[in-house]
Amino acid sequence: MLKLGPLKLKSRVIQSPMAGCSDLAFRLMGRRYGMEFAFLEMVSAEALVRRNRKTLEMLKSTEEDRPLGAQLVGSKPPVMAEAAGMLEAMGFDWIDLNLGCPVPKVIASGSGSHLLREPDLTETILKAMRKNVKKIPFTIKMRVGFTDPSGAEAIEIAKRAETAGVDGITVHGRTRQQGYGGKANWETIGKVKKAVKIPVIGNGDIYSSEDLTDKLTVSGVDGVMIARGALGNPWIYRSLEKTMAGKPAPPPPSFEERKKAALQHLKLEVEIEGEKLGVLKSRKIICWYFKKFPRVARFRDQINRAVTAPEMEHIICQYQ
């Protein structure tokens, strides 16, 4: 079990927010295969308080899509506090502050992982948000450092976050300088875990149950958050949870099971987005399911040329 403030989760495996990936169809797909908790895509606090149409559209959900978390990015304390209050009023189950995004335009705005270099400002933001998030967990997600891989920056932020009343911390084991390259350092995540008493969730380089055991041993984290490892792999949630419980992981899905899941995912995208946009989005999504299989280059080419859902379904069914 994972406990964050008033929230109690049976699973200690959390789905990370992923820009352009963790949309409603992705989340519903994951829940059908064992995912308990997910975050929707990161949203801009500035855009939210202005009630930007596209931002509000990103927040759409359904009753089946619960429990659900929302993650904010920004750097102005009053705006962050207002946006956090709005999300709680909308009925989200968990609010997170992004202190890890490495994208240059986010860094240039003083947000994301830039805030690792601004501990005083970060603390002010945390206190402002904490005042407006009263009934649900409020957490942060950060990297181990901006350029320093030692974890010193993350430890300072973690201690300030704990003092500010934050309910938990997720640590990605890379620096901002690394981006998504190199290896995530779970020993450094473990340093953050030892520095605070609130729950710490580890993130980075979890693609299978085999990836998990050593990471848990060296870090001692309370839970794990997965990102790219779940793309085209909704079976990962149950597999990781079995590993965390000290039980054997279930066998990997067969090729036919992958095809069945890809067809389900396509159907969800089309139902939610309409055929035109659903097919466009599915060109990327469907290829996630088969990226390591033979003749995938030809399959990808066919999928990228498809313009209707029935055409895409036929390509998936005929793939061998």
First to last CA, the chain: 40
Residue 40 contacts residue 72 (beta carbons within 8 Å): no
AA letter at 85: G
- Fill in the DSSP letter of residue 17: P
Q: Which of 124-138, 189-203, 280-294 has the lowest mean pLDDT?
A: 280-294
76, 105 in Cβ contact below 8 A?
no
Q: What is the mean pLDDT of the chain?
A: 95
CATH class given for the domain over 255-318: mainly alpha
Q: Identical fold at 2-244 and 255-318?
A: no
Angle at 12 between CA 32 and CA 123, to 5 degrees: 120
Helix axes 24-32, 255-273, angle to 10 degrees: 140
Domain boundaries, the chain: 2-244, 255-318
- Is the omega angle on the peptide bond into residue 67 within 30 degrees of 0, that is, cis? yes
Both tokens of 306, joined, read 């498809």
Q: Which CATH number fits domain 2-244: 3.30.930.10, 3.30.565.10, 3.20.20.70, 3.40.50.2300?
A: 3.20.20.70
The catalytically annotated residue of 21, 101, 287, 317 is 101
Question: What was the pLDDT predicted at 301?
Answer: 94
Mean pLDDT for the stretch of residues 188-217: 95
Residue with tokens 């870090």: 219
Provide the 10 A C-beta neighbour count for residue 258: 20
pLDDT above 90 for 292:
no
**Which DSSP string corresponds to 205-234?**
S--SGGGHHHHHHHH--SEEEESGGGTT-T
pLDDT class of 263 with cuts at 50, 70, 90: very high
Q: How far apart are CA 108 and CA 316, in angstroms?
A: 42
Catalytic annotation on 21?
no
